[in-house]
Structure 1
């Protein structure tokens, strides 16, 4: 189950991220800001590999009648020459020379192949401060990996971004991709019987400050409520209690 929060906002679409004829995770995507509200996934033990050299786009965001499977933008362009792919989503060239990393929300290191490959879609990344992405946030993701391996039979995770009011990657004088003010995540860890073992959350300012703040789920919901026009509600079923 994914949270209802954010799903009724204008310009937001729900994506089931499909790769190699299989669904791997879910994303709530904001087509105005061209970043995800959040990605939702179940942790998997990584078996290495699975790093894509290019980035996928969502054909269904170009034309709803097109395939629901992510595709390399180059090859999508070969299939549909002359059709602009970036009206409702970010493109790889938006990030080129932007000074920002293509920061995964759903991290590739939390998956085995082929789900690991599926995380390399531009609907699953946001413009992330390089220092944060490569230091504190990376360390936080690694710590979650250790926790999930040690304690959880299953771990359910949400990772999202809070858009900024006026910071954008600009290309040709057009606001292309919103640069979020914050990244956040939440997890619910259960045993083989579905009994809750542990839960928690975190947030980080998308700046050089390079610091991750830890929360309980209740504290994280209070944090998110500051930026919401509607009740955040439960992030997990029964709030992972």
Structure 2
């Protein structure tokens, strides 16, 4: 029977067919994806790197965050998300990959890397992205950029995509950086919304090597930056942090202007604002 729900389903199907999928030319191509950035401001960070792709991270047919991904180094430049108070739920046991980095014609939603490989025998999934086996016995954690603890289910589950992780020193990942993420959880309780960027600075030549092949760049630094706004959208506070990806296990907190200065050391072009008006009134 034709009814309002049939009409809604057809409209939803048509809408999704218009979306190119998770891998897009630019984040502005998908309105729901651009919303993860403060006032829609996309930072210039890493845009000039060869081989970067824009991923609107989709899980259970919903967008949860955005990732600028470096297919050469096989780590993210950054992930952008809006903080959500956790509603509990355990850690995801699967590790997802991006099907469209294997074949642009494949479905855009992240998939369990193991089962995607089982369903496509003979097709190598890791040409443009890291795989779970790259991290096995590497001595490095699969370090979340966008942390699962900053989301409610199902957004929490979506952070377990390998396009959102880096080889992170275990001591840093499990101690100072984890403590920093927990501290931000408390700070963000004051925000109506908290917009966050979190990424990595690749090393010059330090890699996870498998079978004599450089597979995943081991970053020199991990970093984040954030903009907290009230219910009127007005900035309340902002900041950022950097940490050497070593057993030094130290997180250095910085202002947004100091973050721009930090990034400028690694960029040949002007870095510019990380958030609209640098999260000021």
Q: 2:45 and 2:162 mapped to 1: Cα distance? A: 22
Q: 2:204 and 2:49 mapped to 1: Cα distance? A: 16
Find runs of 4+ consecutive structure 1 residues off by over 3 angstroms.
none
Q: What residue is the counterpart of 1:227 in the other structure?
A: 266
Counterpart selection for 1:6 from 46, 51, 55: 46
1:142 aligns with 2:194: no
Give the number of aligned pairs: 240
Greater relative contact order (CA < 8 Å, ≥ 6 in sequence): 1
Q: What residue is the counterpart of 2:154 in the other structure?
A: 114
Aligned pairs for 1:119-130 within 5 A: 119-130=159-170
Gap runs ≥5 in structure 1: none
The CA deviation at 1:178 is 0.2
Q: 1:134 and 1:210 mapped to 2: Cα distance? A: 9
1:82 aligns with 2:122: yes
The CA deviation at 1:50 is 4.5
Q: 1:9 and 1:210 mapped to 2: Cα distance? A: 28
Q: 1:221 and 1:50 mapped to 2: Cα distance? A: 35
Q: Please say which of residues 87-96 and 227-236 is displaced more in the overlay.
A: 227-236
The structure that is helix-richer by fraction is 2
The CA deviation at 1:74 is 1.6
Counterpart selection for 2:252 from 190, 195, 213: 213
The CA deviation at 1:9 is 2.1
Q: What residue is the counterpart of 2:193 in the other structure?
A: 154
Q: 1:177 and 1:169 mapped to 2: Cα distance? A: 5
1:238 aligns with 2:277: yes
Q: What residue is the counterpart of 2:13 in the other structure?
A: none
Contact between 1:50 and 1:114, CA under 8 Å: does it hold in 2? no
Q: What residue is the counterpart of 2:220 in the other structure?
A: 181
Q: 1:237 and 1:44 mapped to 2: Cα distance? A: 21
Q: 1:155 and 1:40 mapped to 2: Cα distance? A: 11
- The alignment yields a C-alpha RMSD, in angstroms, of 0.8
1:34 aligns with 2:45: no
The CA deviation at 1:8 is 3.3
Q: Please say which of residues 84-93 and 225-234 is displaced more in the overlay.
A: 225-234
1:66 aligns with 2:106: yes
Q: 1:202 and 1:57 mapped to 2: Cα distance? A: 28
Q: 1:145 and 1:78 mapped to 2: Cα distance? A: 38
Q: Aligned to 2:258, what secondary structure does the other structure show?
A: helix
Q: Aligned to 1:94, what secondary structure does the other structure show?
A: helix
Gap runs ≥5 in structure 2: 1-39
TM-score w.r.t. length of structure 1: 0.98
Q: 2:191 and 2:118 mapped to 1: Cα distance? A: 44
1:194 aligns with 2:233: yes
Q: 2:167 and 2:114 mapped to 1: Cα distance? A: 21
